[in-house]
Each structure stands twice: as structure tokens, then as C-alpha cells.
Amino acid sequence: MGNRQGSMDNWMSIDFGTSSSAVAIIRNETPELAPPLDSDAVDSKLFSSVAYVDKHENIWTCRQAELMGRQDPSRFLREFKLDIRDGRVLFDSEVTYVQLVAEILKTMKEAAERFLNDSIENLVLTVPATYYDDDEKTIVMKQAAGECGAGFKRIEILKEAQAAAVYYDYLEGQSGGRTLVYDLGGGTFDAVIVEHLETEYRLVGHHAGLEVGGKFFTEKILLDYLVKAGIGRRQATNDHRQRCEEIKRQLSYRETLPPITGESYTLTRSEFEHLISSDLDKTLESCGTLLRQTELQWSDLNRVLLIGGSCRIPLVRQKIEGRLHGMNAENTHIVWQCTENKKTIDPQSAVALGAAVYAMRKFIIPPPEPVTIGVLRNSFTGELYALKEGENVFGRSTNDADFAFPKDERMSRRHFSIEVTFNGSTYEYRLTDLRSSHGTIVDNMALSHQYTFAPTSAVLKGGEKISAGTTKFDFTI
């Protein structure tokens, strides 16, 4: 950010999750994860989305909240993102969800500012696809982030699925197509289809809010543990829950685990998979419902992008692979940890990093200087035709072409097109012959069709001469 004037232009992003949250900053026009200040956080790069409200209505957050919660579990709050309501108070206190979220956002803001070594006033906050502008939860999040809460002066709301798609394209260098974002987090599952367009990421549809995720997977392990240990449900403690949470995490990387210290309980990966298999089947049913609603097939997708910590469970990928194979969609890629070009992508941080890229592109990096896209000159009439970014179609009919030449009887209704794309610094031009007979000629070289369904194309350079039918053009930049 070499041209940046002061901290007012600093942006950060927060992916506020059910179980854990990720924070990103922008340094030297590059997104980076900002780690928690406390080295004992849930993960070196993640913040625990937890809070503790003491009897004096002081709010403790993240790692400090976990430590306080061990002393008095009754005032410890976890996974409360699922229950956020405007104006709702907690326990017998006057503390609201706005105050609770604001304190957690303050903790993340402080960590990000320490990591950047500068103050930050602007925030991109990601929310699920089910949140709308006037949604009660969105209102709570905005109020909590604002100047009366965490202190951000400017707040941009971005859907989590769009942020994930932005980050994927950032790594791949703009890939395009359709992405099914498979978001399996701590408490809910969201399926969202995003279409990658030139200037935006359009939400095609979503089937969101299914109560499936890490919280429920831990609960199933806990229930299994309590039954085998002969402990009543009401006797379950936070320590029991934390042990089961750790078992769940470890089984993503190991087939078996040794028994819990001092106890005989153990759980294998196959036993765990049996516990959660029906829940994962529900996520695929949700994806299928979404595809039917949008009149798409699995094979119409370019990729399935896995985000959320629960996607670390191997059975998730196995289930999706099986569904793609069963639907003859083997060309649809599963993106998890690595993109098609082997770029590293973390399912738990992709949303926060994508939101930072969004801020960087929209608010920090100035747009490129205007560049002449290019013009075509009719050699017979001298008329000029300014090209637009995207597809420019030349032909005889005004209904089928952007530029029509009705007097040229040899020109087809759609004779040739020029696709104009901008790669970040310069424009590129690709001419495609759309006609199998009376084909287009570029600088005395015919673009012939070997197959009518596979039109020949050529990259144009400034000054090349184009002939279509009997009408001739000069291409200039």
C-alpha cells in the first residue's frame, strides 16, 4: 500500500464463525491472516468465538473467556452465533448480544492492529447467505462493529460464499465458471452457487441454514462417551466436551486414538464416521435441492469449494466424490486445501482472506488508468466501430450482431466476433470465425472451419486487417 495516506485507508476483514473466527489484514497489497494476541488460542491463526459474562457484567472474550469459563461454566457462552437476536439480554444481566459481539470484534481488531502495527478503521464483515440487509442478525453485527461498538467507521457486509469465491480466483488468477460453495462450519451447513462474472460474483441460489456441523458432531461423540462411561447427561462438564472436541479434531488426521488418560474410552475414525454419516447425507441432499431449484446439474459446476473447519473430516470429501461420480460429473473439481493448480487454500481461512482481497481490490488499489480498448475501421466507408469489453459480434442482421452490415450479402448473420478481455494491465483481443463458409480472413490468412461446431480463432494485434464477406476492416488500438 505504498501510496496509502495514514490509517484511514487501512482495511481488515473478519469471518465471524460459530466456533472460531478468522481475521485478515492487508499488507503491501497482499492479504495476511492476523493471529490472536494470545499464543494459547484455539489455533495459531484462529480466534475462539466464545465469551464469558461475569457477575459484574464484565465481558471476557476468546481465550480469556475459556479460562474464566472453567471456574463458572454457567456464565460461559459458546456457539451463540446461532442464537443472536437484536435487543436480547443474557442470563439475569442487562448484557445484550450487540455488546457481546462488539467485545469479540474489539479483541480481533486489537490483534489485527498489533499485527499490522497501525490503526484500522474499516472492516469487511462476512455473513452467511441467509443474512439479508434488514435481517435481525445483520443488524446486530453492524451495530456491534460500528463506532458505538468495536469502533469501525466504515463497515462493508459480504456474503461468506462470495468471499470464498473471490479468494479462489485470487489464487488461480481469475478462473470463472460456477462454484458450489460447500460451507460446513461449526453449527450450520450452507450450500451456495456462485457465478464468477467479469466484475462481480453473483449468487445464483442458496439452500442454507441446515443444522449440521462441528457442534453437532462433538455432541454425538459426547453422547457416546457419556453412555459408555455411565455418566448422566446433566453431569456432563465443559471438560468432557473439550475432550470430545479434541477427539473429533484428531480423527481428521488419525485412524485411531489412544484411550483418554485415566479412562477406557476411545473412538476410531470408522466409528466416528458411522455417528455422523447420516448428517453428511443431509448436506448432499441440501446440495441436490439447490441444484434442482436453480435448474442445474452437478456436471454444470466447475468446482465444489469446501470451506469451514468441519470439511477437514475425510468422510466429507469421500461423500462428495461419490456423489459426483454417481452423477457423471467427474470433471467437476473438489477444491480443498489445494486448487486445481496446486495453490494452497485453507478451508478455515479462505473466507477471511477473500474478504480482504475484496477490500483490497475495491477500496485500496486504485483502478488502472483508462486504456483504449480498440476500434475497427470499415475500409470501404471509413466508419469507425468502437469495441466494448466482452464480446463484440459482427454480422449482417441487427438482431444477431452488435455491429450489422446488411448490404454485404456474403456476410452471415453472425460472421465473426472479437472477445475483449482485460488482464489487469492490458487488453487482449481474440477474433473468432462464427461462419463455416465465406469465412473471416485476417491479414490474408483465412480462418477456416474444420468443424462447424469448433470455430477457429486468432489473437489480434494492432494494425491487422480483417475481411469478412466482402466488407474489410482495419483493426487498430
Do residues 360 and 457 share a domain?
no
| pLDDT for 450 beyond 70 | no
Confidence band for 43, pLDDT divided at 50, 70 and 90: low
Q: How confident is the model at residue 434 (pLDDT cuts 50, 70, 90)?
A: confident
Q: Cα–Cα distance between 172 and 162 in angstroms, integer? A: 15
Regarding whether 122 and 80 lie in a shared domain, the answer is yes
Q: Identify whether residues 424 and 358 lie together within a single domain.
A: no
Look at residue 442 and tell me if it is in a domain.
Answer: yes
pLDDT for 146 equals 95
35 with 128, same domain: the answer is: yes
Give the number of domains in the chain. Answer: 2
Residues 359 and 457 reside in one and the same domain: no
Q: Are strands 20-27 and 46-48 parallel, antiparallel or unpaired?
A: antiparallel
Q: Is the same domain home to 160 and 87?
A: yes
Residue 5's pLDDT is 40
**Does 430 map to a domain?**
yes
What CA–CA distance (Å, rounded) separates 411 from 409? 5
Where does the pLDDT of residue 350 fall: very low under 50, low under 70, confident under 90, or very high at 90 and above?
very high
State the pLDDT at residue 262. Answer: 65
Q: Is the residue at 93 inside a domain?
A: yes
- The answer to whether residues 359 and 432 belong to one domain is no
The reply to whether 359 and 437 lie within a common domain is no
In a domain, 176, yes or no: no
Lowest pLDDT segment from 223-237, 317-331, 441-455? 441-455
Residues 140 and 26 in one domain: yes
The arithmetic mean of pLDDT across residues 9-36, rounded, is 94
One domain for residues 360 and 468: no
Q: Which range, of 135-149, 317-331, 427-441, averages the lowest pLDDT? A: 427-441
Above 90 in pLDDT, residue 222? yes
- CATH code at position 452: 2.60.200.20
Q: Which pairing describes strands 465-468 and 471-476: parallel, antiparallel, or unpaired?
A: antiparallel
Mean pLDDT calculated for residue range 361-376: 77
Cα separation, 465 vs 378, in Å, equals 10
* 98 and 31 in a common domain: yes
The whole-number pLDDT of residue 140 equals 92
Whether residue 452 lies inside any domain: the answer is: yes
Look at residue 243 and tell me if it is in a domain: no
Q: Is residue 393 situated within a structural domain? A: yes
Is the pLDDT score of 149 beyond 90?
Answer: yes
pLDDT class of 4 with cuts at 50, 70, 90: very low
**Mean pLDDT in the chain?**
87
Let me know if residue 402 belongs to a domain. Answer: yes
* Proportion of the chain above pLDDT 90, given as a percent: 51
Measured CA to CA, the distance from residue 405 to residue 419 in angstroms comes to 19
Asked whether residue 179 carries a pLDDT value surpassing 50, the answer given is yes
Write out the residue range of the structural domain in which residue 59 sits.
7-167+349-364
Domain boundary among 364, 390, 408: 364
> Of 330, 364, 398, which residue is a domain's last?
364
Choosing from 338, 364, 390, the residue where a domain stops is 364
Q: Percent of the chain, pLDDT > 70?
A: 91
Query: Residue 151 sits in a domain of what CATH number?
Result: 3.30.420.40
Does residue 360 share a domain with residue 393? no
